[in-house]
Chains A and B, each alone.
Chain A
Amino acid sequence: MRHLFKNKKISAIISVVPSQEYRFDDEYPLLKLTEEKAKRFKKTIGVDRHRIAPQNVCSSDLCLYGLQQLLAGGTLERKEIGALLFVSQTPDYFAPPTSNVIHGKLGLGNDVICMDINQGCAGFTLGLMQAFMLLDISGLTKVILLNGETGSKQVDRANRISYPLIGDAGSVTIVERCENVNPIYMDVKNDGSRHQAIMIPAGAYRTPATPETLKLTEVEEGVRLSQQHVRMDGAAVFNFTMEDVPLQIQDILGMSGDTIESIEYFLFHQPNAFILKQMADKMRIPHTKLPNNIVGLYGNSSSVTIPLNITHNYPEPMLRGKHRVCVCGFGVGLTWISMVMDLGPLETCKIVEYEPA
């Protein structure tokens, strides 16, 4: 579904990462990797270090911390918050929505809209779509888009294809109305027929949790998981990233009248360096314009990788001026969403480390 959003902008982004950092060089013995294989894996996939939240820290804690930083710093006032949008696959509870929990912790007024969206890697872009739409409510000043993921809780430590790549993080993006700005182009696509390519098979209501679903099995050497862990068909996902996503990028550039040259930064979701390099080469996008470093620095935190990408790689440019960007989130669903927009100057663009109260 293609659409043009008018008179909307992102005014600030803050990313929050746990202070606990772990290095692949220390972790790989537990993954039954020889030094040789570990070197190969590190070089090809691009893993190096990742941030993992302690057991008692949830996605919402990371997001709330970011929100409190923005309030304390004067970028945001409580009374400006018109809507809280929480995008995550790791909510605090099945009920109530986590956005309501955050609403309560902030002591916000009754007229604030609270909404949870269950989405993963396309969750920043899907969240932006919803934020833009919420801004059509006339009394609503600012939408607070919260992306949070503690994916480390959905993966077993002895899973060599998943654990080294996972990362926990949260982000807060302020979205508001604006005059005299270029439109935002967006294309949203879904294919539920391939929903099994990335999934957690048990633990909700289709296959409820039992002692059986918690049992860990080694599906191949060094890959241990239970039915309540994320499982991925790597080859099917690879086909998806190499076929479907490039087509959408071609479309969205056509729609906005942009070219690879006119786009300054391609801000893609960060599954791993290998996939991103392959995608960039296929689309003939220079690697300098399409960063692929976030997994190696923080891990893959699903919908938070795009805000992390922006706040880690381009804080200065984003604070200083306006930039033509192509944003792309793709993954679980399968869902793929691309956007072309101007981004910046932002009032805030930074990463902070979570500090418990």
Chain B
Amino acid sequence: MDTTLFYEQLKQILDTEEVKPENVLKDLETWDSLAILSVMAMADAQFGVVIKAEEMRSLVTVADLANLIRTKKK
């Protein structure tokens, strides 16, 4: 997975300058239902990965999200 692309896309979705792997998703200011859908759409469009609704709900940190996409991409 292109990690740089992932963080670039995520920063765009969250409309923020900085995103760190340890950030807890639900504590991020712009993490709302729209962000969740945008991430799912991004994973599919950019990485060809389909993230299921239940999988989204189980994620805690940004690193969890990155790892999920990385794993599913294989």
Chain A contact residues, CB within 8 Å of chain B? 36-37, 40-41, 44-45, 161, 220, 233-236, 238-239, 242-243, 274-275, 278, 281-282
Contacts and interface: CB of A to CB of B under 8 A. Distances in A.
Contacts of B56: 235
Nearest to A223: B33
A244 to B, nearest CB: 12
B34 A44 contact: yes
A282 B44 contact: yes
Q: Is the interface of A mostly helix, strand, loop or mixed?
A: helix
A236 B41 CA distance: 13
Q: Is the interface of B mostly helix, strand, loop or mixed?
A: helix
Contact of B34 (A41, A242, A282): A41
Interface in B37-55: 37-38, 40-41, 44-45, 50, 52-53
Given A40-B34, A220-B33, A234-B37, 18 more contacts: A41-B34, A45-B34, A161-B33, A233-B53, A234-B33, A235-B37, A235-B53, A236-B53, A238-B41, A239-B50, A242-B40, A243-B50, A274-B34, A275-B37, A278-B41, A278-B44, A281-B45, A282-B45
Interface of B: 15, 30, 32-34, 36-38, 40-41, 44-45, 50, 52-53, 56-57
A339 B36 CA distance: 31
Contact of B45 (A37, A40, A44, A278): A278
Contacts of A161: 33
A36 B34 CA distance: 14
A38 to B, nearest CB: 11
Given A234-B33, A238-B40, A40 B15 contact: yes
A235 B15 contact: no
Contacts of A243: 50
A235 B36 contact: yes
A235 B57 contact: yes
Contacts of A274: 34, 37-38, 41
With most chain B CB atoms within 10 A of its CB, the pick from A161, A220, A278 is: A278
The list of the 5 closest CB pairs from A to B, nearest first, reads: A235-B53, A236-B53, A278-B41, A234-B33, A235-B56
Nearest to A222: B32
Contacts of B32: 37, 220
Given A161-B33, A278-B45, A281-B45, A44 B38 contact: yes
B45 A235 contact: no
30 contacts: A36-B15, A37-B30, A37-B32, A40-B15, A40-B30, A41-B34, A44-B34, A44-B38, A220-B32, A220-B33, A234-B36, A234-B37, A235-B37, A235-B40, A235-B53, A235-B56, A235-B57, A238-B37, A238-B41, A239-B52, A239-B53, A242-B40, A242-B41, A242-B50, A243-B50, A274-B37, A278-B41, A278-B44, A278-B45, A281-B45
Given A40-B15, A236-B53, A242 B37 contact: no
A65 B15 CA distance: 46
